[in-house]
Structure 1
Amino acid sequence: MLQKYIEILTRDEAIFRKKPDGTEVNYFLFPEFEIHINSLPGKTVQGWHRHHEIEEVLLVQSGKVKIEELENQQIISRICAGGELIRMHNSLHRISNPDTLSASFTVFRFVPQGQNQQECIKNDKEEFSDAAVQRLLKINDSL
């Protein structure tokens, strides 16, 4: 159920972890999804892993990340830069930083329910004019 008002969280409210490889992660955990912000030091290689139920989506903010996956008995790799979005699906994968500079990326994780929600996502928006907002303000003032 959606709440009525905007919620703004700061990094102080995140769960912070510094991994042994130097990766810094700020986790924002919610009942139905998780968002975490990663800072990956230069020349860092994370471990191989996969998820069985979680959908993991990465959005690269800055720097470069190397995505490797095991596909058809081969390791396939690609370098991704700022603005690129990567869906991991159920792949066996790992993430590394091939550069000497830090890279940052945001990870969105959720458990898909197997239903196509594209129409809802595209159309769930109620628009208001400035005049309509002013009328709402007047209604609230009179209460």
Structure 2
Amino acid sequence: MSITSPRRFTRLHTGLLAGLVAVSGLAFSINAQARDAGPMPPHGDRARWEKSAAFKAIDTDGDGKLSEAEIRAFAAARTAEIDTNKDGIISPEEIQAFHDRQREKMRQARLVRMDENKDGVISAEEYQRHLADGMLRHNGKRDGQPRKPPPE
């Protein structure tokens, strides 16, 4: 019978935690890139996803398919973008800074979309239209009727 050293246990868990943090950062960054390129398609809307700017940015050979090489290249590039001190480790602070940068990009893009007449100012009418259109898109209908729950 052998006993695992507490130090070895800690290293294992530290490695697993670092891996989980890296994967979650990658997932967030893919989602953030898609949002930067425009609204993310609803789950299951493959045709819309394949036409999105985010998909096209990852599909570097333009064949309409994401190969393993393209996905790995995107993951490597995004990891390098997050690892700002280039030490090969993505720290929680680096992930937070990356998330903050992505949120700011999304906020700026939203403001540009809201400024319909491109005068640098968002009028009350532009804001109300943007808010109502977003709510109606989320509702799934443009007739103002509540969305029916999916059948069980």
Band of TM-score, shorter chain: under 0.3
Bigger Cα Rg: 2
- TM-score, structure 1 length as denominator? 0.21
| More strand as a share of residues | 1
- TM-score, structure 2 length as denominator? 0.20
| More helix as a share of residues | 2
